Chains A and B, each alone.
Chain A
Amino acid sequence: MSVAVSLTHTLPGFALDVRFEAPDGVTALFGRSGSGKTSVVNAMAGLLRPDRGRISVGGEVLCDTDTGLWLPPHRRRVGYVFQDARLFPHLNVRDNLIYGQRFSRRGRRSGLDHVVGLLGLEALLARRPGALSGGERQRVAIGRALLSDPRLLLLDEPLAALDEARKAEILPHLERLRDDTRIPIVFVSHSASEVARLATTVVAMDAGRVERVGPATEVLSDLSAVRTIGVREAGSVLTGQVAAHHADGLSEVRVSAGSLFLPRFQAAVGAQVRVRIEAQDVILSRGRPEGLSALNILPGEVIEMRGGAGPGVMVQLRIGADRLLARVTRRSAEALRLAPGVPCHAVAKSVSVARLDVGVVDPANPGKDQDTPGTAGEDQDAPGTAGEDQDAPGTAGEDQDAPGTAGEDQDAPGTAGDNGEQTR
């Protein structure tokens, strides 16, 4: 196991009791704000001294209260990208980047060009942090942490302070970081879509405790994780391969049960991608629907259902080898006589999948992928996708207004939107 954490700590009005192990790759500490995620990464960096605990990275113990071992932060080689970047305001970008190099084993100046290229910082080197945008600051902070030659990289909500456009700017960099470097990354987030795109392992946290640990696709599609994520953001992650980019602006992704058609995104044909589909965007139908505008219709069967206090029911489906979450009203579930084992079709509109919800896991042809800079290509798509994105919040808003008939409401605007879509 690459990262092993076990700690208990009492903060004013809050008890932390966390235990998890994670393999190499990106581990997401995922949970609502106030669930103790930042305290965990602070303990890993040595900024918080736990009452009891043991933390090890790649076999090296950073802290063990039983043996009294405690490495101070500057001797841990743990790179930390803070939510607020924390660049040194009196140094320019270049001097910020090389600040930690003096203390790294590889010495000064090594790797600067590589990191500058990886994060696209060429034009910023002479600037001061005060003259950077939020997204640029985060990129510099990531580069600064990387150049200190860390054995572990911690990212504390690196995207939380950014708007959607900036997030779209940084996410491809983080994906390249995950795929290019062999440094394990622990990444704090409360956003299911960020986690779905980046994480290999998810540690779901709630009220200072670990609720669940597992591969991202499993944890996010799990009914018990819904409580941590919140019904509104709950959604499952399907893994598939890019089959084709069609001329009408859609990309086809082959998943285990069939094909998904999504708004065009940037990835080589053959690349492995993850697609996050929000539970509230999925419609269920007992028979195979006819004459419906929605393009994604996948056959499956109900595995489990769980209702809460509200009018909604969360339904977990088996779709081929994948699992899918769908949120419908209790009334609809009763009308369709949904129950474990019942076959049904899951229906999802193409445009309900936002651009931020598709992430490249394994570029089939990395050389080609690098030739076409990910950000530039995706930025061109932005206006189209942004416009279509507006459909989704609209539906969500109506959903909130009439909670009693949420499920049915969802159908209505959905269909209307689809009709418009066909004439487009």
Chain B
Amino acid sequence: MSGAGFSPEVWQAITLSLKVSFWAVAASLPFGIFTAYALARWRFPGKGLVNGLVHLPLILPPVVTGYLLLLTFGPQGPLGRGLAVLGLEVAFRWTGAALAAAIMAFPLMVRAIRLAIEAVDPKLEEAAGTLGAPPLWVFATVTLPMAAPGILAGAVLGYAKAMGEFGATITFVSSIPGETRTVPSAIYAFLQVPGAQPAVFWLVALSVTVAMAALLVSELVAARIAARVGGR
């Protein structure tokens, strides 16, 4: 049913948001797992500082985070110029939107994964070590599978956050249709135009559907993993 207001711009915003959020989570998940593991298991100087930095996007106003991103990753920013040399430009590109979403989703992801890793009994890791397994193998075959439900939960939480990210994204990469206009930016833009209420309706309905579907799938997968790990 091609209802009124379901314009190509609406579809564009939806697919862009899915793409941006997917890459935001996929690219930051390894870092998230590493950070969560370090915070859960290691003792090192400056641990409090790292913890604070990870949580910073959660407590700063998103616009401030976006502005800081613009300063560092913008065309004139130190990291922005470096990435541009490597052929990866992020300012005002969809990759920038993914970066902003990833930064904003990171603390939520790390918190969930850290809890999951802390729940894995270190005695099991010790036991694996006495059987001859080197630490990285222990991590891959004991810690990771046992923390899998929590890691999945962290990823879904991060994905939902990335889908909804607005403030940092619009500050950092603006709202360019087809490039950086994600669903929240599109809703905001349509709300500025008289008579675009039907488009807003579609965007809202679709984002609710996507969020619910992601949640359901993750619940199902988590239940199956938990049953496996629980061991019966």
Contact = CB atoms under 8 A, between A and B. Distances in A.
Interface stretch (B27-35, B61-69, B210-218, B223-231): B223-231
B231 A129 contact: yes
Nearest to B148: A90
B125 to A, nearest CB: 10
Interface string A88-113: 11100000000110111000000000
B131 A131 contact: no
A167 interface: no
Interface in A113-163: 128-131, 144-145, 148
Interface stretch (B2-10, B132-140, B198-206): B132-140
Interface in B128-162: 128-135, 138, 141-142, 145-146
A78 interface: yes
A103 B127 contact: no
Contacts of B123: 82, 84, 86
Contacts of A84: 123
How many chain A residues sit at the interface, stated as a range, is 20 to 34
Contact of A128 (B129, B131, B134, B232): B232
A73 B130 contact: yes
A103 B126 contact: no
Contacts of B127: 80, 82, 86, 88
Interface residues of B, number: 23
Given A86-B127, A88-B124, A90-B146, A100 B232 contact: no
Given A82-B123, A128-B231, A88 B142 contact: yes
A89 B147 CA distance: 12
A377 interface: no
Given A82-B123, A84-B123, A131-B231, A89 B131 contact: no
A145 B131 contact: yes
A148 B129 CA distance: 11
A130 B134 CA distance: 26
A79 interface: yes
Contacts of A76: 130
B145 A148 contact: no
Nearest to B123: A86
A144 B134 CA distance: 17
Given A47-B126, A90-B229, A74 B134 contact: yes
A99 B142 CA distance: 11
B83 to A, nearest CB: 39
A100 B231 contact: no
A100 B230 contact: no
Interface in A241-281: none
A399 B136 CA distance: 57
Contacts of A88: 124, 127-128, 142
A77 interface: yes
A80 B231 contact: no
Contacts of A72: 129
B4 to A, nearest CB: 52
Given A86-B123, A88-B142, A99 B131 contact: yes
Contacts of B130: 45-47, 73-74, 76, 78-80, 145, 148
Contacts of B121: 86
B163 to A, nearest CB: 31
Nearest to A141: B127
B147 to A, nearest CB: 10
A82 B131 CA distance: 12
Nearest to A147: B131
A144 B223 CA distance: 29
A77 B132 contact: yes
A45 B129 CA distance: 9
- Name the residue among B127, B133, B142 with the largest chain A CB count within 10 angstroms: B127
B139 to A, nearest CB: 12
Interface in A207-248: none
A390 B228 CA distance: 43
A79 B130 CA distance: 6
A103 B228 CA distance: 25
Contact of A100 (B131, B135, B229): B131
Nearest to A42: B126
B119 to A, nearest CB: 12
A103 B230 contact: no
A103 B133 contact: yes
A90 B145 CA distance: 8
A103 B121 CA distance: 22
A330 to B, nearest CB: 48
Nearest to A45: B130
A148 B133 CA distance: 10
Given A82-B123, A84-B123, A86-B123, A74 B129 contact: yes
Contact of A89 (B132, B133, B141, B230): B230
Contact of B132 (A82, A128, A129, A148): A148
A90 B126 CA distance: 16
Contacts of B228: 90
- Name the residue among A47, A78, A99, A148 with the largest chain B CB count within 10 angstroms: A99
A74 B141 CA distance: 14
Contacts of A144: 131
A74 B146 contact: no
Interface in B24-68: none
Interface of B: 121, 123-124, 126-135, 138, 141-142, 145-146, 228-232
21 contacts: A45-B130, A47-B126, A47-B129, A47-B130, A73-B126, A73-B130, A74-B132, A77-B132, A82-B123, A82-B127, A84-B123, A86-B121, A88-B128, A89-B230, A90-B231, A99-B131, A99-B141, A102-B132, A128-B231, A130-B231, A145-B131
Given A88-B124, A90-B146, A148-B131, 20 more contacts: A46-B129, A46-B130, A47-B130, A72-B129, A73-B130, A74-B130, A76-B130, A79-B131, A86-B127, A89-B230, A90-B231, A99-B133, A103-B131, A103-B132, A129-B231, A130-B230, A130-B231, A130-B232, A145-B130, A148-B130
